[in-house]
Structures are given as structure tokens and as C-alpha cells.
Amino acid sequence: MNPLDEAMQRRSAAAYVAYGSSADADIRYLTHFQVTDPLVYVKKKGEQGIIIVSTMEYERAKRESMVQVMSRNEAGFFEFLKEDPAHREKATARMIAALAGGDVLVPPQFPFLLGKELETFFPVSVEKEAVKGMRAVKSAEELNHLRLVQRATDEAMKTALTLIKKSIPRGEMLVYRDKPLTSEDVKAALQKHLIDHGCIGRDTIVSCGPDTALPHLTGKGPLHPDEPIIIDIFPQAEDSGYFADMTRTVVKGEPSKEITEMYLAVQEAQSRAVSRIRAGISGADIHQDVVDFFKERGYESDSQGFMHNLGHGVGLEVHEIPVLGAGGESLQAGNVVTVEPGLYYPEHGGVRLEDMGAVTDGGFERFTRCEEILIL
């Protein structure tokens, strides 16, 4: 039985309702439709899902989405709006109520205002698990989408690494073709490579030196020799909507003793974690094992050291369940997760290595192929 139908049955609800654009990963997952403006999704118990879109999007939605399509006009929206033109949410709620015909389940991120309006018609409860749970376990088709994005990401990473490798240390700078090589240059090269493979990279991280001590600083300006450079890419395939996520840390020249030691520890932590991943083990356990391992090596897990989770699910969102961290749930075959230990110290800089792959019954199918080399 479809998990949404199960949830409706268990909770005596007549319909499940979602609202948003395809930037909401649940909407994209349930409809396979890419749209900038929000739409309404209604699935009655035991029936197919249906989306309600503007007239302008109607024909395209029929062609591109995998659900039934109704225009707002057909769904009575404009009739309802006439009664109180200043309150579009009220008209939207009435339209939804007419389609749902009874108690409604919504996802946690359902808009508060629309939820309150909907409550004037029927009881509204939040269903936290069903869609997130469906999304967390990838189908064969989804796994293929994810492998493809990771392949493009690997190639893009190689482009970036080659650029850094070919650069020449000159004083404080890395120089490429007689110009200082900057974070911006490397990001642009990466992003262009991704575009040629139908992917979009945003908020890409190419940070250097002290900046690497802050995990999500995106970095700017010239890159320097003998200092850690963190490259973290998490592109999305435009067609499928699936993400990949990977990180490498490199040094052009001579890394400090501390960075070398941190690198080796991070690499070992990653191998340990990867070798333990399989269906049935909890994300919390795998994370804790890495915390313990770092502790043995003299690295803390606090506001410095290993200061983030070991990993996260990846799919139509770059961060989704399961969590490989405190409170992390039991892993299931078909989860796609990152394994990304990192160590960060203001005085030394940061090191992070991140691979992505699928949890299987027997272990972990690593999608990431790009090798890990500290010194370029």
C-alpha cells in the first residue's frame, strides 16, 4: 500500500495536501513537475494525486507531470475568490476543502496561513514521515539519477584539481597562465563543466587557508601555496532535480605537519565509517564511532575539531534524511548518504573529505570515484 494511503487510513484522513513550487522537494517528488509558482497537490485516499495549476501552466503540466492536472478555473478557485477577493488563501483553502472532502493531512512545511484557513473547513494534521520516508529510500531509477549527477560532479572536481595542479607557486600566490589563480576562477571552471553535463552548482565552496576552518565559507580571492584548499560541490541535475555532494581537500606545495596529520585522520575516519555502513546500522552509531576515533587521535568534536555531522541523505534536496549524526535513524538499503568527516582549527585550517553512495544490505556502494590526494 502506498505510504500516503497508509497514513490516511491510520489517521482517518480523507486526503493528503501539499502546497509549493518544485523548489519544495516533496512537491517535485510527488508530481515530477518543475514549476516556479506554487501549485496545490491533493491526493485522496486510494486515488491518484492531482495538481491544480494556473491556466498558463495547464497544458505543460499535462505533458510533463506524472499526476492528474486541473486548472484553478476548473477547481472553482476564481468563483471562491470573488466572494472575498482580498484573501487568496481563503479561496485556495475553499478549493482544497472542496477537493479533499474531509480531514486533511499536510507535510510539516505546509504554509501556516493556508493551514489555518483550511482548518476552518476540516481538521488538519501534520504527517511528518510518509513522503520523507518514501524519498529516503531511492528507487532504481532514482539511484541512476544520483549516480549520473555524481559522475558529472567527479569530472567537475577533476577539472578544478587539474587547474590547481597546473598552477605555479609564486611567492604568496598560485599563478596560472601568468595570473593569480582565484577561488572565483576555480568555481567558474567547475560550474561551466557542470553546465556541459546539465547540472547547476551553486554556493560552491573553494576556500583556502584560514577560511577553510569555517566549513561553509564559500571562499574568495587568490589561492595560496602550502595551505589547505577545500573544494565542496553540490550540484543539482536540471532535468531530474537530483543532487550530488562531494568534497576534496588539497594543498599545492607543502602542507603543514598539522594539516597532514588531520588529513590522514580524516581519511581514516572516512574509511572506517564507509566500512561500517550497511542496512540496519544506525546513523547515530556510525557518527559516534568517528567521534570516538577522532578523540583517540586527540581531536575533539565541539565548536572546533569535528564540528558537524558525519553525513546526510542526498536526493531532491542536498540535505535530507537519514542523518549520520546524533539522533540519526537506522539506515535502510536504498538510502543515499554522504560520508564527510572533517576537522577544523582556526590556527591550522580545515580538512574535509566527502563521498556519496548508496546503503545496501551488505554495505555501501560508493558513487564517488575521484581519488583522494592531499598534495597536488
CB closer to its own copies out of 133 and 215: 215
Q: Which amino acid is present at 232?
A: D
In whole angstroms, the minimum distance from the beta carbon of 373 to its own copies comes to 26
**Site residues, its own copies (CB under 8 A):** 23, 34-37, 54-60, 63, 71, 85, 89, 106, 108-116, 124, 126, 128, 184, 188, 191-192, 195-196, 198, 200, 202-203, 214-218, 238, 302-303, 307-308, 318-319, 327
In whole angstroms, the minimum distance from the beta carbon of 360 to its own copies comes to 27
Query: Count of CB atoms within 10 A of residue 105's CB?
Result: 27
In sign, the C-alpha dihedral spanning 92, 96, 97, 98 is: positive
CB closer to its own copies out of 16 and 110: 110
Please state the φ and ψ torsions of residue 66, each to the nearest 5 degrees.
-110, 20
In whole angstroms, the minimum distance from the beta carbon of 218 to its own copies comes to 8
Q: How far apart are CA 197 and CA 173, in angstroms?
A: 31
CB closer to its own copies out of 224 and 352: 352
Q: Which helix (H) or strand (E) holds 71?
A: strand 68-71
In whole angstroms, the minimum distance from the beta carbon of 225 to its own copies comes to 25
In whole angstroms, the minimum distance from the beta carbon of 1 to its own copies comes to 24
In whole angstroms, the minimum distance from the beta carbon of 5 to its own copies comes to 21
CB closer to its own copies out of 36 and 48: 36
In whole angstroms, the minimum distance from the beta carbon of 73 to its own copies comes to 8
**Beta bridge partner(s), residue 206:** 231
Query: Count of CB atoms within 10 A of residue 320's CB?
Result: 19
CB closer to its own copies out of 112 and 257: 112
In sign, the C-alpha dihedral spanning 22, 27, 32, 33 is: negative
CB closer to its own copies out of 286 and 318: 318
First to last CA, the chain: 53
CB closer to its own copies out of 246 and 252: 246
Q: Which amino acid is present at 292?
A: D
**Beta bridge partner(s), residue 116:** none
Query: Count of CB atoms within 10 A of residue 307's CB?
Result: 16
Q: Which residues contact 234 (CB under 8 A, 6 or more apart)?
A: 201, 203, 204, 243, 244, 245, 246, 318
